[in-house]
Amino acid sequence: MLPETPDDPARLLARLISIDSVNPDLVPGGAGESVIADFCGAWLAARGFEIHSLDKRSGRPSLVAIAHGTGGGRTLMLNGHLDTVSLADYDGDPLDPRIRDGRMYGRGAFDMKGGIAAMMVAAARATAHGRLRGDVLLACVADEEYGSSGTEEVLESFTADAAIVTEPSHLEVTLAHKGFAWFDVEIEGRAAHGSRPELGIDAIAKAGHFLVALENLGRRLAEGPAHPLLGTGTVHASVIHGGEEPSTYPAHCRITLERRTVPGESADSVERELTAVLDDLTTTVPDFRYRLTRGVHRDPFEADTEADVVRTLTHHAEQVLGHPPVVRAEPFWTDCALLDRAGIPCLLFGADGEGAHAATEYIDLASLDRLTDILTATITDFCS
């Protein structure tokens, strides 16, 4: 049984889990964020927040809720995403929140409706008496699981003096994460009948040379200089397409690759790196020809450890946890990078649990309470 205390984060989380918000860019026909955004907007409006609905992409709304301060204080943004991955492979009913052994199970419980519930309750508690000088801004965003269009849209109209992204982090202060860059490499051959090798150029065989070179690049990256929290960048081939039928030399072979980047690396530096590898193959492999095309790319992120928001949250985390919080980095990308690029000092801090994108997903409810307490104290301190 959930407690009957007002604005309890576990009770709010159970309601959020029960709302289908699968990202339709990941799963065609997915419910999207409309219903859950409406629910969050109504919940926050009832507690005095000014509600802004952003719907640049029809049917994919993000929500910005603001509690205005008395004036002269700093604005703090709390950011979390409303969308989830697929329900299809979940073990059990993904929309039926279940509590067992101090854990709440359900799709999105960990990633990241727990963070949404904690930041909503924390903001409501911190602003309930209207004594803060600064504004508190909640950004409940769409589409983080695919393209992060929600946070991009928020940043077109809103800013803050600092931000906290409440992605799950096991109550550890996350100050850096990797970026990524996707590239397509099109290896060009020449189509010919399989009986005429003197006329054909096998694009798939030529692509094999690149795959070996890509593996060697990954080895060099692993042996190179490492970031103190993130280690080194990585690279891997993700998808390969080529050929038409067994009796024809393939004229094209396309390889899609992903390069995970660390601070100091960028899509531009990766493109130069790949071009050097490919140009070397054109001089060493007969008839090797290629086209390199840049796809989606996102910057890595690294927080300023001396930023006020980092120091404030770390202090209150230590008070609640009873020990200094672990400082960590994540290998995956988050919206922190977009906030940082917009000039908003930020960090990532969220609840404990397991099962992001997995068949079973849960949040530790004690950590949800601690997260809510830490966020409440941080908001009150930072915005006073």
DSSP 135-165: -EEEEEES-TTTT-HHHHHHHHH---SEEEE
CA distance linking residue 376 with residue 119, whole number of Å? 8
R_g of the chain, CA atoms, integer Å: 24
pLDDT per position as a tens digit, 297-331: 999 999 999 999 999 999 999 999 999 999 999 99
Give percent above pLDDT 70 in the chain: 98
**Cα 295 from chain centroid?**
17
- Is the separation of the CB atoms in 144 and 382 below 8 Å? no
Average the pLDDT over 163-191 and give the result. Answer: 98
What is the structure's pLDDT at 6?
57
The CATH number of 179-298, from 1.10.150.120, 3.30.70.360, 3.30.70.1250, 3.40.50.1980, is 3.30.70.360
Q: What is the chain's mean pLDDT, rounded? A: 96
CA distance linking residue 236 with residue 332, whole number of Å? 15
Whether residue 4 is predicted with pLDDT greater than 50 in this model: the reply is no
pLDDT per position as a tens digit, 118-166: 999 999 999 999 999 999 999 999 999 998 999 999 999 999 999 999 9
Residue of 213, 215, 222 whose CA lies nearest to 277: 213
CA distance linking residue 235 with residue 271, whole number of Å? 12
144, two tokens: 């983080």
| Count of C-beta atoms within a 10 Å radius of residue 214 | 21
CA distance linking residue 204 with residue 239, whole number of Å? 13
**Cα 335 from chain centroid?**
5
Q: What are phi and psi of 207, to 5 degrees?
A: -60, -30
**Confidence at 107, pLDDT banded by 50, 70, 90:** very high
What is the structure's pLDDT at 1?
37
**Which one-letter amino acid corresponds to residue 164?**
I
Whether residue 41 is predicted with pLDDT greater than 70 in this model: the reply is yes
CA distance linking residue 247 with residue 98, whole number of Å? 56
CA distance linking residue 164 with residue 64, whole number of Å? 14
305: helix, strand or coil:
coil
Whether residue 381 is predicted with pLDDT greater than 70 in this model: the reply is yes
Please report the DSSP string for 328-341 in residue order: EEESS--THHHHHH
Whether residue 167 is predicted with pLDDT greater than 80 in this model: the reply is yes
pLDDT per position as a tens digit, 209-228: 999 999 999 999 999 999 99
Domain boundaries, the chain: 9-176+301-383, 179-298
Average the pLDDT over 52-62 and give the result. Answer: 95
Please report the DSSP string for 293-305 in residue order: EEEEEE--EE--T
- The sign of the dihedral angle between the CA atoms of 222, 169, 345, 333 is positive
**CB neighbour list of residue 236: distance below 8 Å, 6 or more residues apart:** 214, 218, 257, 258
**Confidence at 3, pLDDT banded by 50, 70, 90:** very low
What is the structure's pLDDT at 30?
97
CA distance linking residue 227 with residue 179, whole number of Å? 13
- Is the separation of the CB atoms in 379 and 164 below 8 Å? no
What is the structure's pLDDT at 93?
98
We find that the CATH architecture of domain 9-176+301-383 is 3-Layer(aba) Sandwich (3.40)
pLDDT per position as a tens digit, 83-95: 999 999 999 999 9
What is the structure's pLDDT at 7?
87
- Is the separation of the CB atoms in 83 and 145 below 8 Å? yes
